[in-house]
Structure 1
Amino acid sequence: MSTRDGEGRDDESRTRVGRGAREGWRYYNPGQKDYAAFLKTSEETGGELTLIEIEVAPGGGTPPHYHKTYDEHFEVLAGALEVLLGKE
């Protein structure tokens, strides 16, 4: 089933989810085989942060990359996560 996002695009990769007092969208990324739910957006926090909960499949995840304009913080809720920091 296809749904329309706020910008009028059809998107078959997302489903509606509830997060406690917050409801939002849970997106599936087929390239990385993970699910992402936006818990807080930059717009909601006045540009301070974006909070995303990501469910990563075994062996999945984002390829090595870096950000020039912001930092990332990770908390592992279950399982294990390997993170590349610099060239290590």
Structure 2
Amino acid sequence: MPALVVIRRSRWSRATHGAQSQTYRDAPSHGKPVRIRILRKRYRCQDCEQTAFDPIPDLDGKRRATTRLVAFVRAQLQPDVRGGGP
């Protein structure tokens, strides 16, 4: 039987701990690159004093890119299953 693990939830302050402008890449529009600039708020945990940005669901957590751009790139890298493409 696995050991019981208790995870303590952090208490994030409602007051912001500053903000930072961040730039993300998005899928191309009409063949041109798209960049999105977002002012993201930072919050501080009342328990451990760590800070974190507010989450934005459409941003990829590992890259400075939107999930739409990640899907676009993956689709471009897939071989053409119909047989006529590169």
Higher normalized contact order (CA 8 Å, seq sep 6+, divided by chain length): 2
Q: Would you tell me which structure has more helix in proportion to its own residues?
A: 2
Q: Which has the larger radius of gyration?
A: 2
TM-score normalised per structure 1: 0.29
